[in-house]
Amino acid sequence: MKTRILNQTPYLLVYSRLLIAVYFIFVAIFKQLQDPITVSLLLIFAVLSDVFDGVIARKLKIDSVRLRQLDSRVDIIFWVTLLYVLLVMENSFVRSHAAALFILLMSEVFIQLFGYLKFNTALALHTYAAKAWAVLLTLSVLQILLGKNAEVIFYVMFVWGLIAQLEVALIIFKMKTSKVDVSSIFKLKK
């Protein structure tokens, strides 16, 4: 029984991000929930859960393609709902950076579509560049929510996001079959 519960921990961490995403929708709808500190703390928890779901799954030797794909899908849902929260709570920042955000969003859509069309399955590459991008995204959002000047970190995040997306596109282009957890274009084994 203890092992069964322990083996569910990575899934619980993934689904916790999905619950936070649902909460973020309520935050965007109900003004009384729009507390930057609460949203920031939930963001930090979500990012930590994203780190530890994979760490725990590998440690327990229960990581699987299904878990990695679920993790990636939930990550997309989480970040899109967070963007929605930012649009509501920090409308002026989002509007003034709409072009960059649109480019990042469309590059993600393109990457997901490209991968799905090529392999007929969801992607779950988890590259190092994408992990670094998640850190930069987190720092950018925290700066924005906490009312700090986020211009520099935002543009660093934007440029790094494009680099991470380009690497993923190159990996998809070079791969012959669908794979998960390809850490870098340089580590890709044909």
H helices of the chain, in order, are: 2-29, 36-59, 65-89, 91-96, 98-119, 128-145, 151-174
> Tokens 């790094």 sit at which residue?
160
Percent of the chain with pLDDT over 70: 98
Q: How confident is the model at residue 2 (pLDDT cuts 50, 70, 90)?
A: low
3-state secondary structure of 90: coil
> Tokens 């509501």 sit at which residue?
88
Rounded mean pLDDT of 147-163?
Answer: 96
pLDDT > 70? residue 63: yes
Rounded mean pLDDT of 37-41?
Answer: 97
Report CA-CA distances (Å) from 72 to 18, 76, 93, 145: 11, 6, 27, 24
pLDDT > 90? residue 36: yes
Tens digit of pLDDT for each residue in 176-188?
Answer: 999 888 999 998 8
Q: How confident is the model at residue 5 (pLDDT cuts 50, 70, 90)?
A: confident
